[in-house]
Structures are given as structure tokens and as C-alpha cells.
Structure 1
Amino acid sequence: MEYLLPTLREKREVDSLIRDTIDKVVVLRFGRSSDSVCLQLDDILYKSARDVSRFATVALVDVDSEKIQVYVKYFDIAFIPSTIFFFNAHHMKMDSGSADHTKWVGTFQRKQDFVDVVEVFICMILECPVKV
């Protein structure tokens, strides 16, 4: 069975997903389906979606849609793909080694890299003990 990723093209769709998803990480990939790097990331997200489905919801956001531009400007989507994470309608910040702590810019090298990032967010939320 295929696990399809929804593509959001309207602000109200993004608003609804962020607002109505409770106790799961919301992963929004901002990009375009015609970009080769976005397609590489989409493949990783697609392959990971089932594995993280218990604790995350993944969706694609079409940056070329006119009805999405408010989010493109608000999150300063200058480079694609950019991936933004939310939990219970709160934007999750991250330190990925870049100056921008609001989003992941670029793709992940492997499926496990993406799963690891989502798991870090879950541990932050659940306040998992640090293993030494």
C-alpha cells in the first residue's frame, strides 16, 4: 500500500494541519515538485512517513501557490527545500549547525537522518533523559 504525502496549496490547509494535529510533530516541507533537490527530499520523507506515522504527520507545501505566500514570507523561505516542524501548534526551533534555527534547509542524506531529527523533537517534547 502506498503512503501518499498530501500537498498543501492554501493557507487554510496549512493552518488546519498545524492547529488540528495534537500530540504529533507536524513536518512541513516547503518546496516545489519540479525541483530535483525537493524530489530527493520528498522521496526520503515518503519512505519515512510510515515509520514516523505514530508520532509525526508529514506534508508538502507548494511554495509557488499564491495562497501560501504568507507562510513563505513569515518563515523566510529563501532556499528550497526548507522543512519546518511544529508540535501542538507551536513552531519547534532547532540547532542544525546553521545560523537559522527556525527550519531545516536542504535535504537529508538518508531516511534515518530524517527519522533521527523527528525522534530528537519527540525526546525534547517528552523530556527524555539524556543517555551517556
Structure 2
Amino acid sequence: MSGILLPTLSKKKEVDSIIRDTLDKLLVLRFGRPSDPICLQLDDILFKTSHEVSKFAAIALVDIDSEEIQVYVKYFDISLIPSTIFFFNAHHMKMDSGTADHTKWVGSFHRKQDFIDVVEAIYRGAMKGKLIVSCPLPPERIPKFQLLFKNL
């Protein structure tokens, strides 16, 4: 249901445009499928918090199955969904959450406040000129995944 109310991008041109045109706000891009139960859980959290964070963040959903989006899937090495990627003024924002991958948030958030805390931390870091920030969440609320690196 929430996927209908948040903008859904399925073309590379749309993703390029929203990254380039979202200025002075944090851009939150959720890569996933509307049929995946964990994506639906995350989408619900994103939708319910979108108004609360609207002054400093914009949220959009990206259809990972779209052929045109595969360039981003490969570039950001999205092998697990949902994966959430953050941008500020067209710069990719990273977060050290104690996992091997700082480029994206993999999985859902446990609750709405966790998402808000992460978005606020990344936004505040971006406003100070940082490209990587520390995750404000305690380790028990950070999803753990075994990352498989190709060609290693």
C-alpha cells in the first residue's frame, strides 16, 4: 500500500534526475521489490515517517527488477533487498554501522524511530561536509547479513 504513495522509480533517467535535483535534503532511495515482505515492512516505515522527515529528507522507491535500473544495482552491488542508499546534493552518503558494507543499509529498520535517527544522523553529517557518518543505532538494532563478495 505505501509503495503507491511514495514515488516509485523504474527508469535510470528518473533516478539520475532525482539524485541530481534533490538539493539541501537527504535523498533516501529504497531499492527493492513491491512483492517482497521485508520491502513492504520497510516501505511502511518509510511512508509513515515521510511526513516527519520531509523538511530535511526526500524518499523514493526504486524498482530493482527494472532493466534500466540494473546499472545502479551493479554499481552499488545490491545483492540483498531491500537496500537503502542515501545521497546529499548528489553525493553518495555512507554510514559505518559496524558491518562490512558502509555504502548502503541492508534490510528493514526495527521501528520508525530507528529510521528517523539514521536519517537525522546522515543529514547532520552531510551538513558538516562529511561523506561518512557513524550509525546512531545500538548494534542489536542493526540487521546482520553475511555479505558474499564476488571474485575473492
- Please give the range of the TM-score, normalised by the shorter of the 2 chains: over 0.9
Map Cα deviations across residues 65-107 of structure 1 (whole Å, 9 max, x no partner). Answer: 0110000000000000000000000000111121000000000
Task: Indicate the residue corresponding to 2:58 in structure 1.
Answer: 57
**What residue is the counterpart of 1:35 in the other structure?**
36
State how far apart, in whole Å, the 1-side matches of 2:58 and 2:127 are.
Answer: 17
Are 1:11 and 2:7 counterparts?
no
Kindly indicate whether structure 1 or structure 2 has the higher relative contact order, using CA contacts under 8 Å at least 6 residues apart: 1
Runs of 4+ aligned structure 1 residues displaced above 3 Å come to none
Measure, in 2, the Cα distance between the counterparts of 1:61 and 1:22. Answer: 19
Counterpart in the other structure of 2:69: 68
Q: State the Cα distance separating 1:126 from its structure 2 match.
A: 2.6
Shift of 1:4: 1.9
Structure 1, gaps ≥5 residues long: 128-132
Equivalent residue letter for 1:72: V
Q: List alignment gaps of at least 5 residues for structure 2.
A: 129-152
Q: How many residues align?
A: 126
Cα deviation for residue 125 of structure 1 reads 2.1
- Report the residue type matching 2:95 in the other structure: M
Q: Which residue of 1 aligns with 2:121?
A: 120
Deviation string 1:12-38 (CA, Å, 9 cap, x unpaired) is 000000000100000000000000000
Q: Distance in 2 between matches of 1:19 and 1:42?
A: 23
What amino acid maps onto 1:113 in structure 2? D
Corresponding residue of 1:130: none
C-alpha distance in 2, partners of 1:126/1:32? Answer: 31
Task: Determine what percentage of the aligned residue pairs are the same residue.
Answer: 71
TM-score (norm 1): 0.92
Shift of 1:121: 1.0
State the shift of 1:122 in Å: 1.7
Alpha-carbon separation, structure 2, partners of 1:110 and 1:100:
21
